[in-house]
Amino acid sequence: MVAEDMVVLDVRPEDEHAAGHIPGAFSVPLEDLDRRLGDLPRDREIVAYCRGRFCLFARQAVERLRADGFRALRMEDGVAEWEERGYRVAVGAEGDV
């Protein structure tokens, strides 16, 4: 599900990411996004997700990324919906972007 031409960002707090996240997703909590913009590739699409369709973190992250010139989309669902569909959830920290 994660393509090589995109970066998947988990914008939830780090402890939530460590408890379970979409495999291959990088943890960049919304509160750290401005500080981490320089770490993100500008030549790849960025897909942000958070706790699910009613969580505003991903929406805010996409607005911030687009304002800085990134190609960004919001994943409507979160980890719970991902897992409910039968997809694997990774536990622990991922590497840096």
Residue 91 domain flag = no
Tokens 């897992």 belong to residue: 83
Q: Is residue 56 part of a domain?
A: yes
pLDDT at position 15, please?
A: 94
In a domain, 47, yes or no: yes
Residue 95 counted as domain residue: no
In the predicted structure, residue 1 carries a pLDDT above the cut 50 = no
- Number of structural domains found in the chain: 1
On the question of pLDDT at 17 being above 70, the answer is yes
Mean pLDDT across 57-62: 97
Residue 97 within a domain: no
Determine the structural domain holding residue 70 and report its residue range.
6-84
pLDDT mean over 39-61: 95
Q: Are the beta carbons of 17 and 27 closer than 8 angstroms?
A: yes
Domain assignment present for 1: no
DSSP classification of residue 90: B
Percent pLDDT > 90 in the chain is: 86
- Tell me, what CATH number does 54's domain have? 3.40.250.10
Q: What integer best gives the mean pLDDT of the chain?
A: 91
Residue 12 lies in a domain: yes
Catalytic positions are 50
Entry field: residues in the chain = 97
